[in-house]
Amino acid sequence: MVSKRGFTLIELLVVIAIIALLMAIIVPALKNAKELASGSVCLGNQKNLALAWTNYSGDYDSYLVGGSNYYSGTRATPYRWVEYPLMSDKHNPEQTAPATEAQYSLETRKNGIRAGRLFPYTEDEELYHCPGDKNYTKPEPAAVYRSYAITGLMNGEDFISRSGGIRTPINQYRTASVLGNKTLYVAVKMSDIVSPGNKHVFIEEDVSAKGQNVNAGGFVLLNPWWWDWPAYYHNDSSTIGFADGHAERHRWQNINTLKLMRGEITSDPDAANNQDLKWLISGYLPMR
């Protein structure tokens, strides 16, 4: 005779406890695996962007592509690597007004990427987006798509003014008081960069975390310490593209760096002793 005895309450509780234990082990492992996969894709993006950046310079007599997307004002940058969101990827914001916030969409944001001077070297909008960056899923106008910025001293926005228009030389530079009033010279040509294998070009930046609806300008430091900080797309690490064309994943060590990235604080209470910031500064100054 076959027994019809079912599970006892204790047996059910044991099974549930085992399932809960397995979930506690498996879920973090799956999260880490997903994180590792997105980090690998992001690192590939950075390598391709860094290579495109160096190839552009090679084609233009060592001149660097514009590292900002400012097209007007005292810090306007010519030959910009990307543009603001545009109604057409054939538009130039110097002649045709960019999209308004009411017109922001994934397409107008990608138009700005395609209109940039670096796009002929990449030919893929997805290279500009980290898979760990989910901001593009937000409702517009906050659905920022581009995940990377060029650092401010790599022919970018980190200066005071030009001598007389967008295509004239920079005539007034910023100084960093915390570095003994060191002049922050902007690299315009590849030959301006000392030790390019150690100098940062592309850094992950989350402008949405700062309440911005478009990634404007570039990644800036030393105002007086942090001004921008890396994005929290890969937990305690970020991918970075360098001036010699390589890219690497860098792990952050200081708790204040991680708190900034996670949005838990808005300023670093001990910036002068933050080893992460010191490392960033050493790669931020192209002529150092």
> How many whole angstroms separate alpha carbon 160 and alpha carbon 54?
26
Q: Is residue 231 part of a domain?
A: yes
pLDDT at 17: 81
Q: Is residue 183 part of a domain?
A: yes
Q: Is residue 97 part of a domain?
A: no
Q: Is residue 100 part of a domain?
A: no
Q: What is the mean pLDDT of residues 138-146?
A: 96
Lowest mean pLDDT among 2-6, 16-20, 109-113, 247-251: 2-6
Determine the Cα angle at 132 with ends 263 and 121, to 5°.
Answer: 115
Q: Would the pLDDT of 10 be above 60?
A: yes
Residue 228 · residue 260 · CB < 8 Å: no
Q: Is residue 46 part of a domain?
A: yes
- Condensed to tens digits (0 to 9), the pLDDT of residues 113-135 reads 999 999 999 999 999 999 999 99
The residue range of the domain holding 185 is 10-61+126-135+145-284
Q: Is residue 104 part of a domain?
A: no
Q: Is residue 69 part of a domain?
A: no
Q: Is residue 190 part of a domain?
A: yes
- Condensed to tens digits (0 to 9), the pLDDT of residues 194-212 reads 999 999 999 999 999 999 9
User: Total domain count for the chain?
Assistant: 1
- pTM (2 decimals)? 0.87
Q: What is the mean pLDDT of residues 215-241?
A: 95
